Amino acid sequence: MRILVSWLRELVTLPVGSGSPDSPVTIAALADTLTMRGFEVGAVEPWPAGPANPAGQPGNSEPPDAVLDLEITTNRPDCLSVLGIAREVGTIYGTDLRMPALWPDDDDQRDPIAVTIEDADLCPRYVGALVDVEVGPSPRWLAARLEAADVRPINNVVDVTNYVMLELGHPLHAFDLDRLAGPEIRVRRARAGETIRTLDGAQRRLEPEMLVIADAERAQAVAGVMGGADSEVSGTTRTIVLEAAYFNPISVRRTGKRIGLSTDASYRFERGADVEAPVRAIARARQLLATIGAGQPRGPAVDRYPTPPAPIVVRLRHHRIGHLLGLTIDAAFVAPTLTRLGFDPQLEPATDPPVWRVTVPTFRVDVSREEDLIEEVARHHGYDRLPTTFPALTQPAPPPGPWRARDHLVRQLLTGCGFSEAITYGFIERAPALAIHPDAQDIVALRNPLSEKGAVLRPSLLPGLVDSLIHNRRRERQDIRLFEVGSQFRHGDGETPALALVMTGDAVARHWSGPERKTDLFDLTGVIARLCEGFGGVATFEPDTAGHLVPGRTASVRLRVADQTTVLGTVGQLDPGFAHTRGLTGSDAVYVAELDLRPLTTDRFDHLQATPVPRYPSITRDLSVEIDDALPAVRVRDTIRAAAGPALVSINEIDRYQGPGIAAGAVSLSMRLTFRAPDRTLTDTEVQAATDDVVRALARAHRAKLR
């Protein structure tokens, strides 16, 4: 809202001027003060003092003028006007308001126009009045004031309606009487299939829940939003019907949204107009039209207001102000402040501390409770004068939720493995979402995405993370390890916490001491193993398949914690076709994993009972067998573990060899078995017996040959 200081000065005495003793407050200081009272002045624009002055050229004593560009919060539609701001200024400086001149009531005559409100739920009040006009340009000062407010002057009639809206805050509309089907206004819901061409030239289809202003035959305006082109005021207009009404805010808001129009009028109506303002707004417009020689009011204004609501009265208890603010504000400050703001505070008899019954003015649509009044008092008393205190702790904070320790440990373990944390958008393109999660019914789509790039909620963290990897790849970064912790969304499972990892480039960087080594799948499975170990579990991997992963290089990940095994997710080499589609160039393999975070918990650490450290030495045996190379290593391990007896504590695959000396389709697998007993030193004989059992079991189960 752009407000001209000289206009403001017409409605309220301003001690504002050059900073001299006569006018001690500068415009900059006024702007600061308004800002501190809740009306942020974004800019103070110097403005020439002359043209906007109705009295003509200013004298030497004319104070400097300026436009204040104010930000008005949605709860204060009353301040979308010079009058509203003048009221705040009057409260700040303790000066009186001056209401602008109004056309006197004329109640001797018959209604010059028929006004019928058919849908009073959407229009509780409608005021119409006639003015015989001579359409032409506005006087310079009036046009200049509109221009200062960024409103384009059109002609004297339209300009006056805009002028009154800016001055008093109430929107007006003018119809060309000759272009209506007679001197009759009907306020009603639109008929099914009814259309209207609005002032902007667009043909609009109306719906039965929309309110229109109609003549005897058809809609002539979309109520509170925009007038119709057919009854628009033009150079040939002889008589206008001036409209000032109160429209239901929700109805105006819905209608505006539905037909895609937001106007200065709808902006005000949907925030809440003043139901008492229409008569005054009409009288002000008629006065102005007469004053500038643009027209002559004909007959009285017709006011249809079937059921005026009772005024809102709110009790304000003085002690409650201190209770809420933490500062006792003098009762002698409270009542006068509210009065200047337009409230009517009446002291309840025999109350100590005082209690007021405060009548709320109809323009203050934001005030309905005691707290609203306390805010008015606090605002004008000054937030800067509130003390700073610290609330007493009355009970200890409960322990943090388990997710905090989990997420913290995940971050700690993975950053320790060289992975940096990424945060990607929760919405992604549909195609990569489907590529990774092909169940289209399970994908959660947005109704109003910003673009196709964010059409669906991510069913997996991978697409976003792969995009981040590619972003880095395209910026000369070869070796990349990223992870993300976040929510994924599916219709079936809802919102669940997930973890994704991506990895490419060198696992070991080129160094003067030795060559580089490219990342392979086992770098990533190793990281996952370490992650699971960090949570006190063991990771196991089983061959698996997934559409977006390379066959034969894909595994499901299982977590085993204390005999409980749960599926964590999938790890594998990303299908190069997928990566290429997302924009990856080059031939480096990308390894990815996505894991469910829910099975990972640190709970068990809370009750961790340490087992005694081994007291007796361990004995190792190396074993090389030749076996079918298609046999998963995990099967060999299972067989060994089942055969070796309880003394076996670990199995390490220390070598794999294929080549001369090994049959085609076979592999020589070397393993180091470690044995230990908790209660004694094992003998060579015992270990040899266990090893022999292992060899026999391998031969039986896998036809393994000892080498």
Partner 1 sequence: MTAPTDIDAIRAAFQADLGAVATEADLQTVRDRYLGRKQGAVAALMKSMASAPTADRPALGKAANELKREIDQALATRRQTLEASARPAGGVDVTLPGRETPFGRRHPLTLIREQVESIFGAMGFETLQGPQVEDDYHNFEALNMPPDHPARDMQDTFYLDRPMPGAGGTPSTHPATLLRTHTSGMQIRYMETHQPPVRIIAPGVVYRRDTPDLTHSPMFVQVEGLLVGEGITMADLKGTLVAFLQAFFDADTRVMFRPSFFPYTEPSAEVFISCVFCDGTGCPVCKKTGWLEILGCGMVHPAVFEAVGYDPERYTGWAFGLGIDRVALLKHRVEDIRLFYDNDLRLLEQFPH
- For the segment 472-501, give every residue that binds partner 1 (CB under 8 A): 472, 475, 477, 479-483, 486-487, 489, 491-496
**Considering only residues 417-436, where is the footprint of partner 1 by CB under 8 A?**
417-427
**Considering only residues 370-399, where is the footprint of partner 1 by CB under 8 A?**
371-372, 374-375, 378-379, 383-384, 386-391, 393-398
Candidates 275, 290, 324, 589; binder of partner 1 (CB under 8 A) is 324
Q: How far is the CB of 176 from partner 1 (least distance, A)?
A: 32
- Mark residues 501-540: x for contact with partner 1 by CB under 8 A, - for none: --------x-xxx---------------------------
**Considering only residues 228-267, where is the footprint of partner 1 by CB under 8 A?**
249-250, 253-254
CA distance 525 to 168: 71
Q: How far is the CB of 31 from partner 1 (least distance, A)?
A: 11
Candidates 220, 263, 468, 525; binder of partner 1 (CB under 8 A) is 468
Phi-psi region of 370 (alpha: psi -120 to 50; beta: other; left: phi over 0): alpha
- Is the CB of 228 or the CB of 486 nearer to partner 1? 486
Tokens encoding 558 = 């299982």
Extended strands (E) in 247-375: 295-304, 312-317, 344-347, 355-360
- Is the CB of 379 or the CB of 705 nearer to partner 1? 379
Give the interface size with partner 1 as a residue count (CB under 8 A).
92
Q: Which of 425, 619, 590 is nearest to 521 (CA)?
A: 590
- Is the CB of 493 or the CB of 653 nearer to partner 1? 493
Q: How far is the CB of 534 from partner 1 (least distance, A)?
A: 14
Q: DSSP secondary structure string, 645-664?
A: -TTEEEEEEEEEE-STTS-T
- Is the CB of 139 or the CB of 497 nearer to partner 1? 497
- Is the CB of 110 or the CB of 475 nearer to partner 1? 475
Segment near partner 1 (CB under 8 A), from 118-126, 321-329, 556-564, 672-680? 321-329
| Number of CB atoms found within 10 A of residue 570's CB | 22
Q: How far is the CB of 105 from partner 1 (least distance, A)?
A: 34
Strand 355-360 to 312-317 pairing = antiparallel
- Is the CB of 294 or the CB of 410 nearer to partner 1? 410
- Is the CB of 462 or the CB of 623 nearer to partner 1? 462
- Is the CB of 416 or the CB of 583 nearer to partner 1? 416
**Considering only residues 99-118, where is the footprint of partner 1 by CB under 8 A?**
none
* Position 553 contacts partner 1 (CB under 8 A): no
Segment near partner 1 (CB under 8 A), from 167-175, 230-238, 367-375, 649-657? 367-375
Tokens encoding 305 = 């207001």
Q: How far is the CB of 326 from partner 1 (least distance, A)?
A: 3
Omega prior to 353 cis, within 30 of 0: yes
Tokens encoding 85 = 């701001």
| Residues 79, 148 contacting (CB under 8 angstroms) | no
**Considering only residues 7-36, where is the footprint of partner 1 by CB under 8 A?**
35-36
* Position 328 contacts partner 1 (CB under 8 A): no
CA distance 82 to 324: 32
DSSP 3-state assignment of 231? helix
Q: How far is the CB of 115 from partner 1 (least distance, A)?
A: 27
* Position 401 contacts partner 1 (CB under 8 A): yes
Segment near partner 1 (CB under 8 A), from 229-237, 413-421, 611-619, 679-687? 413-421
- Is the CB of 41 or the CB of 241 nearer to partner 1? 41
| Residues 501, 482 contacting (CB under 8 angstroms) | yes
Tokens encoding 72 = 């008005």
Q: How far is the CB of 63 from partner 1 (least distance, A)?
A: 24
DSSP 3-state assignment of 183? coil
Write the CA distances from 334 to 322, 331, 371, 376, 518, integer angstroms.
12, 5, 13, 9, 75
Tokens encoding 455 = 């059409």
* Position 449 contacts partner 1 (CB under 8 A): yes
| Number of CB atoms found within 10 A of residue 213's CB | 28
400's CB contacts (< 8 A; 6+ apart) are none
Instruction: Compute the chain's Rg from CA coordinates.
Output: 40
Query: What residues does 360 pair with on adjacent strands?
Result: 312
Q: How far is the CB of 228 from partner 1 (least distance, A)?
A: 25
CA distance 557 to 570: 5
Provide the edge-to-edge strand list for the sheet that holds 2-4.
Answer: 2-4, 65-71, 40-47
- Is the CB of 509 or the CB of 642 nearer to partner 1? 509
Q: DSSP secondary structure string, 17-35?
A: ESSSSSS-EEHHHHHHHHH
Segment near partner 1 (CB under 8 A), from 181-189, 430-438, 444-452, 696-704? 444-452
**Considering only residues 601-660, where is the footprint of partner 1 by CB under 8 A?**
none
Candidates 415, 565, 620, 688; binder of partner 1 (CB under 8 A) is 415
Q: How far is the CB of 213 from partner 1 (least distance, A)?
A: 21
Q: How far is the CB of 431 from partner 1 (least distance, A)?
A: 17
CA distance 143 to 222: 26
Q: How far is the CB of 253 from partner 1 (least distance, A)?
A: 5
Q: How far is the CB of 78 from partner 1 (least distance, A)?
A: 13
- Is the CB of 35 or the CB of 674 nearer to partner 1? 35
| Residues 493, 443 contacting (CB under 8 angstroms) | no
Angle, CA of 1, 265 and 139, to the nearest 5° = 70
- Mark residues 65-94: x for contact with partner 1 by CB under 8 A, - for none: --------xxxx------------------
Residue 274 has, within 13 A of its CA and on its CB side, a CA count of: 26
Q: How far is the CB of 341 from partner 1 (least distance, A)?
A: 13
Candidates 271, 340, 558, 676; binder of partner 1 (CB under 8 A) is 271
Candidates 48, 326, 577, 586; binder of partner 1 (CB under 8 A) is 326
- The helix or strand, by DSSP H or E, that contains position 673, with its residue range, turns out to be strand 666-675
Residue 452, exposed/middle/buried by CB under 10 A (0-12, 13-18, 19+)? exposed
Residue 39, exposed/middle/buried by CB under 10 A (0-12, 13-18, 19+)? buried
Single-letter code of the amino acid located at 376? E
